[in-house]
Structure 1
């Protein structure tokens, strides 16, 4: 009787192993295909006199064209004064009236742009730096968020993918 039970156990184990091996060969991938097709994020380089824009995106489609502001959404580049750090600071002062006056707030990192989105870092006296996200043309900037963590739901849901990488909202 013991021999019969042992043979039955071995045969059952063999069927189980065969079924598991077959299932793993035909199982769908664990990662959704849509996640595999996303473009990689583009890093933003610190400003230097020789470099005025971030490197071009090798994965951008040839048909990607600049937005109304002149910046393509497929990459992040320095705004080169469109808007300037002073214009971003003025927009922030319109919504945050409690900021220190005069030299109490300065531009720590000039704006970088992607499409109609801009990202700027401001230094505030006796406080942590403010990370600012704005949208729109230089003459009519809208402050989307300002604070120490700019990655709000609106930013994550509507900003260009390349911009999210530059702002560290991955």
Structure 2
């Protein structure tokens, strides 16, 4: 009877822990845990009746290596176009900037997947946000202006570019 009285609370505790484990974080986000084990054996006559210490085994260390998508966060371009290449694109085929206006790269280019985001200071005008995509040597203009959160950027741009172009809002220019 004493054995059942000692085993029953432990079994109940294991059952409760097992049931509650289903209410926590998804399995891929939680670290494995070891449950305490307890072995009940009959107590020989004359032996101590103090409860035995449960044996706990620590789980082996787990190395978590994040495998984030390249488009989730925009970072400084390593293999993307330079700021000068973006300015050349805007002055050239795109015809966004005239040849006589002074332009300085303020931010970027920042890359997420094969998209880029750049902010330019244009003398005598508001800041110009530029979204491009493609290879470093030949980027394609997606949009340029003070508010570059277009349908194309929202629908097809990577999350890192959408965060810069849409969540930050339009650029504030001089006198704004």
User: Aligned partners of 2:107, 2:67: CA distance in 1, in Å?
Assistant: 30
SS at match of 1:166: helix
The correspondence for 2:165, drawn from 155, 164, 167, is 167
Cα deviation per residue 1:86-124 (whole Å; 9 max; x = unaligned)? 011111112443624256122121210000010001111
The answer (yes or no) to whether the contact 2:80–2:116 under 8 Å persists in 1 is: no
SS at match of 1:113: strand
When residues 95 and 129 of structure 1 are mapped into structure 2, their CA distance, relative to the original with a 3 A threshold, is: farther
How many residues get paired?
Answer: 104
Question: Deviation at 1:81?
Answer: 6.4
Q: What's 1:127 paired with? A: 125
Q: Does 1:89 align with 2:66?
A: no
Question: Deviation at 1:75?
Answer: 1.8
Rg comparison, structure with higher value = 2
SS at match of 1:139: coil
When residues 127 and 96 of structure 1 are mapped into structure 2, their CA distance, relative to the original with a 3 A threshold, is: farther
When residues 114 and 98 of structure 1 are mapped into structure 2, their CA distance, relative to the original with a 3 A threshold, is: closer
The correspondence for 1:75, drawn from 49, 55, 73, is 73
When residues 135 and 105 of structure 1 are mapped into structure 2, their CA distance, relative to the original with a 3 A threshold, is: same
User: Aligned partners of 1:137, 1:98: CA distance in 2, in Å?
Assistant: 20
| Off by >2 Å, runs of 4+ in structure 1 | 61-65, 94-103, 166-170
User: Aligned partners of 1:63, 1:149: CA distance in 2, in Å?
Assistant: 32
Q: What's 1:147 paired with? A: 145
User: Aligned partners of 2:153, 2:100: CA distance in 1, in Å?
Assistant: 30
Note the aligned Cα RMSD (angstroms).
Answer: 2.3
Q: Gaps (5+ residues) in structure 2?
A: 1-64, 169-176
Question: Deviation at 1:64?
Answer: 4.2
| Structure with more contact order per residue of length (Cα contacts < 8 Å, sep ≥ 6) | 1
Cα deviation per residue 1:7-30 (whole Å; 9 max; x = unaligned)? xxxxxxxxxxxxxxxxxxxxxxxx
SS at match of 1:138: coil
The answer (yes or no) to whether the contact 1:117–1:133 under 8 Å persists in 2 is: yes
TM-score by length of 1: 0.54
